[in-house]
Structure 1
Amino acid sequence: MPLGEPVKVELTLIDEGARWVNTEPDGIVVGAVTLRGWEIHPVQATLEVLGENDAYLVKINYELDLGLDPVPMNWFEVGFEFIAGDGSGHVTVLDALPRTIGPEKERVYSVNRRLQFVPCAAGIEPDAVLPATTYQIDVFGVGGNNPRWKNSATCGGNVRSGSHAAWLSLLVPRGCPEVAVGLSIRYSLPPEEIIGSLPAHDAVTFPLVLKGGSRRVVEPVPTDDADPARRPEGPRVFISYAHDTARHERNALEFAELLDRAGVDVHLDKWSGAVRRNWWMWAEREIRIADFTVVVASPRCKAVAEGEIPSDENRGMRTELNFIRELLAKDESHWLPKILPVVLPGETVENLPAFLQPYNCDHYRIDEFTEEEVEGLLRAMGRTDSGERPSSRVS
């Protein structure tokens, strides 16, 4: 099939409770990547979520085939751009899987009433299953129409041929019969292969037909959304940490992944995408809309808070800490329970800013990255009704 030839992706309803709608594309090839069958499932949600749109869950299957004598590459990136067929409205990716993760075992997810993916609770049939991966995977473009997944080999290795899966929660203009999908690929090649050029970047566009069908209804949960302890998707948490050392950054990311696995909606700079932005405004917004902000102890964090670092250094950390200090001064009774000082492995409580009152109030020590170690922190986020004093809490 010629590379630029359009491919019509038809949908076939599988009548097993009318749950899934499967696609069987003939195959679209761009470089070393081949698309396989997609699964598309229309979803009915509340008017508050949908607005003037229709919603779909989309599973994307693709393969990387490097041939019998592969050229070494330590990463490759697969991206999709979704455009409404008639160009009259926007297509929005509400959420995507996999999120930014390291090597990971198989994980299962449900879709909440906001059409976001959340870890699937025991006894609930999952809506999305992610197979185990040995890669570091970074996702970009959520909230827009151009999601991308960068798959990177770990420990200096190279990516290998194999199958991959990704999931999207997609909003399209109501009644839109099809969307145009642009597929683009980027590769990382060794210098002797690139010969001074940029990584290979190819693209092809094809129409994706959207048909109606039985819709899975995402039922509203009768809970108080203002209370993060009662929201099924878990509290939204922003992690504020200084980039002291590579080891400290790895610890912060491992901590973020641990919270994510526990059902927390985690936000931090490394997971925010690679777009150019005003980081000062970004940090203030993240702190304002988060249910909780975690401040991670480190020597640089404390030095910035106490004005021991030149004003032209560590501007991001300085912005975050100054804003938190201002919020506490303005309304301590509201903000004190929302600001959670945390001490990660290898750190000490002495490296928390004094204005957070880690001794007078509470701090949370994580001695190793296990679910048991974050139980106290999760209770501080309201994830239990027991009233038991957290074991990892230190007065």
Structure 2
Amino acid sequence: MTHVTSETRLVWRHRSRTSEGTAMESQDIARIDLTLVEEGGRRMESTPNGIGIGALRLRKWQIDHIESPEDVFDGYDTYLIRINYDLELEVDSPRVTWFELAVDFRSENGAGEATVIDALPRFGTFSETPKSYVLNRYLNFVPFEDGVSAHALLPASSERVDTFGIGGQRLRWRHVSLDGTGVREGSYSAWVVLHVPTGQVDQRVMFSARYDLIVDPEVEYRPTQVPAEFTLKLIASSDRPETATHLSSAAFELQDDEYHPSVFICYAHDTPLHKTRARQFGNLLVKNGIDTHMDQWDEIHRKPWDFWAYEHINKVDFIIVLASPICRKAFNGELKGTDNRGIRSEARLILDQLHTERDKWTPKVLPVVLPHEFVENVSEMLQPWTTDHYKINQLTREGIAQLLRAMTGVPRYSRPPLGKLPPIARKTSTDDGS
């Protein structure tokens, strides 16, 4: 069996940015053509009989800025990156027994080094069933039973994936066929938790690939490779959402500017990503005229958090409950022990008010589902299906329009004035028998 590598061709496209800080490439980031190279070093011309083996493509990446634990990763910004890639093989090409994708996050001009804190798949990953993972406090992937809100999902696989380079700059995933039929072609995904120096928005990436295949033993080939290099645009913290288009309702735009509904955000600290998204959502509410209160803005001195929550819950106009697995369990009374005491206390206070004065409190308690979450993580105690819930598809003014209307009482469409019945529909004395 002879090792054959690749010739690389860069296909770089501009990136688009969404308002909540998620960046996506519009087309392929890069492509590596898998071609056979003869021993003399001259690349053989592609012919109809299939000297070209296929291609390894980097597809759209998803990049999320996430919050790092305080005093753990000072001086660094952290990103959760989903790397999408495709292995494409020509029809009737030799079987690929393994292939390897490598991404090298390089430092530039003596700047601090980027570091891969954790990655998925990990070394020796092999699973007959899908597995879900979330990030813990130290930004490591840990298995998670409830896959609804998982940060990463590894599908069932018939291949082994070996991982190299966690803790450094250069990361490699090697897919190995276990049954001798060759690796599967199609789409793959990998996840990286990446640290870069604070404020850095340009990250150089070197993309390379290797592979091995079964060929005629009389044919000799020499490995060759020209890696693809590109610059990844990292978006700093998305606490400043993009300016969105105005709401279509003129009635909403003309409302009294002096009226600012007050809101308390009730949520669980499921993961660093969820905590970051909750703060970004709170920032967006404030920028759109909502007097918002949440714990992350009040961590300035020692305080009794139970009294703090009680005071806000009872004085604000509305309570927003953010859907998440832990929040759902807290409201359903499924949490035990000493963990998650804050959300458990807040849930009991809110449920007690709902039980005591349901007609008053049902319009005040607003279940909200952020873009990364699911309606299934709204507690049944809040009746997400028989009463309203508010799904936020994007963190923009337009994205929260329905929620804003619920708090201001301004409908999207106004009922027109009552008109007169046309003559054909009016009752006359003859019609009523008189």
Which structure has the larger Rg? Answer: 2
- For normalisation by structure 1, the TM-score amounts to 0.50
Q: What TM-score results when the alignment is normalised by the length of structure 2? A: 0.46
